[in-house]
Amino acid sequence: MMDRLKNKVALVTGAGQGIGEAIARAFASEGAKVVVAERNEATGAKVAEEIGGLFVRTDVTVAADVAGAVQAAQTLGTVDILVNNAGANVFYRPHEMPRAEWARCMALDLEACWAMAEAVLPGMRAQKRGAIVNIASVHGFKIIPHTFPYPVAKHGLIGLTRSLGVEYAPEGVRVNAIAPGYIDTEIARDYWAEFDDPAAERARAEAMHPARRIGSPEEVAMTAVFLASDEAPFINAETIVIDGGRSALYHD
C-alpha cells in the first residue's frame, strides 16, 4: 500500500461496481478513508467491507440521501475528495425519447453531480483545500447517433467541471473530470448482451481502438487517484480523456 491519499476522506458515488468500485478500491489502497455512496445495498456494502470503508445507501437524485451521505462522511472528518461517478446510460433517438427519460438522465447524470458538489463545497472552502473528480464520458466531446440525451448531460457535466474549477480555485478547491471511452464494465457488457452475438460486438469495439483493446476500470481509477492527490496541484477545470487514442483517429 502506498500513501498518496493518506488520511484523506473520500466520498465516491456509485461505488458498488465498475469504475466507481475500482476508484474506491484504489483510494483505499492509497490510504484514504473511503465512503461508498451506492444505491445498491448488496454491492455497496460488500465493497465497503472489503476495503475497510463506510457504506451509505445513496440515491444521488434524492436530496435527503445526498445530505445523509455527506453527513456520514463528515463523521470521518471534512470531505477532502468527492468523486461523482454514479450515472446511467440513457440512449434514444431524440424523436423517440419519452419525455420522462430526459428528466431521468439530467437528474442522474448532471444535476446530482452539482447536488453532491454543493453539499461538500462548504467544508472544502472552509479548510481551503479539496478535490472534486467528475466522471464524464467521451460522449461529452463526440456524438454517437441514437444515444440522446446522454451526450447532452455529459457536455453539461464538463461545463460544470470547468465552471466550478474556475470559481473555487482561489479557495484551494480543484475540480476536474475524467472522460472514459470504452471501459470493460458491467454497463458495457450489458450493452453487448443486447446483440445477437455479444462476443462479436465486443470484438468490434476492441478493433476500433489503436491498442486493439478496451480499457479497464483500474486504468480509470489510477487517473482519479492522481487528480485527487497532492501530485496534481495545478491541474484544475480540466477533463482527461481515457479512450486509448480512439478519439484521435480521423477514420478507421
pLDDT tens-place string over residues 60-101: 999 999 999 999 999 999 999 999 999 999 999 999 999 999
Q: Name the H helices within 80-216.
A: 99-106, 112-127, 150-168, 186-192, 198-207
Distance CA 83, CA 34 (A): 11
Distance CA 222, CA 26 (A): 7
The answer to whether 150 is a known catalytic residue is yes
CATH of 9-185+216-243, one of 3.40.50.720, 3.40.190.10, 3.30.70.1450, 3.90.550.10: 3.40.50.720
pLDDT digits (tens, 9 = 90+) for 174-185: 999 999 999 999
* Prediction pTM value: 0.96
Helix, strand, coil content of the chain in percent (nearest 5): 50, 20, 35
Q: Which of 92, 150, 182, 250 is catalytic?
A: 150
pLDDT digits (tens, 9 = 90+) for 170-210: 999 999 999 999 999 998 999 899 999 999 999 999 999 99
